[in-house]
Amino acid sequence: MQAIQEAVAYIQAHTTNFRPTTGIILGTGLGALAQEVDVQHEISYADIPNFPVSTVESHAGRLLLGTLAGQPVAVLQGRFHYYEGYTMPQIVLPVRVLKLLGISQLFVSNAAGGLNPEFAISDLMLIEDHINLLPTNPLIGPNLNDLGPRFPDMYAPYDADLLTRARAAAVALGQGSTTQRGVYAAVPGPMLETPAEYRYLRTIGADAVGMSTVPEVIAARHLGLPVLAVSVITDLCYPGQLKPVVISDILAAAAVAEPRLTALMKAVLMAA
């Protein structure tokens, strides 16, 4: 709790108490939304007390505070993954900090492999539910009673109202046919999956698989924050389409989808 409060105090002192209402976490290869933000304050993660520093090259490691689609937002340009060696409390610290800065909803994006045979590369998938296959979660340990309950409910981890608005926005933007919905499975990584693992993930009910998002969503639900989460399908992992993947292909597929993701998030913000 003290680590969280120190980070909050630093950010407040350096931003004349700017109060964001929406937090946005940008995933692998999905940093460009930041260019659309009318930035008022930019803080490097390295300067924020207790903030981990991102080790992944495709993540910038900056907190931006400003307006997007007329709304005050806090954008985390770069996130922390379990495979980087961070602890779960480190991974979710930014979410908790943003909540104490004032956000009342959280938008999350990620790059993910497509398991549903109806998905195509660069489709967006609105996450409707998830399966946590990470070996631990951020709520293990003494409960931070100031933040949320010991046993948070996960009946609806992804906010129904935000999902409805996102679906409507996708259709209005002409993105209906490339905007899917489904279940996201979180795995530790950093290696991608074997063919047998992809088949297993599909069998247990996942439509997409990735290495992030679920810890942040669990922390957000603990805090009572409504969440909208969107995967960008960067590679296809079902029989017939599976082939060796390199990170440059994943980044290229993310780049193609990025303008659609940005437009969608802006439209949902505008509808607020």
- Interface with ligand HPA (CB under 6 A), residue from 235, 257, 264, 269: 235
Our finding on whether 103 is near ligand HPA (CB under 6 A) is no
Our finding on whether 113 is near ligand HPA (CB under 6 A) is yes
Q: What is the DSSP string of 151-191?
A: S---S-SS-HHHHHHHHHHHHHTT-GGGEEEEEEEE---SS
- Site size toward ligand HPA (CB under 6 A) is 13
Shortest Å distance, C-beta 232 to ligand HPA: 9
Our finding on whether 11 is near ligand HPA (CB under 6 A) is no
Our finding on whether 210 is near ligand HPA (CB under 6 A) is yes
Stretch that binds ligand HPA, among 32-40, 148-156, 229-237, 263-271 (CB under 6 A): 229-237
Our finding on whether 250 is near ligand HPA (CB under 6 A) is yes
Our finding on whether 230 is near ligand HPA (CB under 6 A) is no
CB-based contact 130:217 (threshold 8 Å): yes
Our finding on whether 211 is near ligand HPA (CB under 6 A) is yes
Our finding on whether 111 is near ligand HPA (CB under 6 A) is yes
Q: Cα(33)–Cα(67) distance, rounded to whole angstroms?
A: 12
Mode of pairing for the β-strands spanning 62-68 and 124-132: unpaired
Q: What is the DSSP string of 217-269?
A: HHHHHHTT--EEEEEEEEEE-STTT-----HHHHHHHHHHHHHHHHHHHHHHH
- Interface with ligand HPA (CB under 6 A), residue from 206, 227, 237, 265: 237
- The residue among 123, 142, 136, 113 whose CA lies nearest residue 206 is 113
* 246 alpha-carbon distance from chain centroid: 21
Stretch that binds ligand HPA, among 42-50, 56-64, 106-114, 159-167 (CB under 6 A): 106-114
Which CB sits closer to ligand HPA, 26 or 48?
Answer: 26
Our finding on whether 108 is near ligand HPA (CB under 6 A) is no
Which residue has the CB atom at the shortest distance from ligand HPA?
113
Sequence-separated (6 or more) residues with CB below 8 Å from residue 239: 195, 199
Q: Cα(99)–Cα(8) distance, rounded to whole angstroms?
A: 9
- Interface with ligand HPA (CB under 6 A), residue from 134, 162, 209, 219: 209
56 burial type by CB count under 10 A (0-12 exposed, 13-18 middle, 19+ buried) = middle
Mode of pairing for the β-strands spanning 105-114 and 227-236: parallel
Shortest Å distance, C-beta 187 to ligand HPA: 6
Which CB sits closer to ligand HPA, 15 or 110?
Answer: 110
Shortest Å distance, C-beta 16 to ligand HPA: 38
Q: Cα(162)–Cα(12) distance, rounded to whole angstroms?
A: 28
Shortest Å distance, C-beta 211 to ligand HPA: 5
Binding mask 184-203 for ligand HPA (x = CB under 6 A): ---x----xx----------
Give the binding site for ligand HPA (CB under 6 A): 111-113, 187, 192-193, 209-211, 234-235, 237, 250
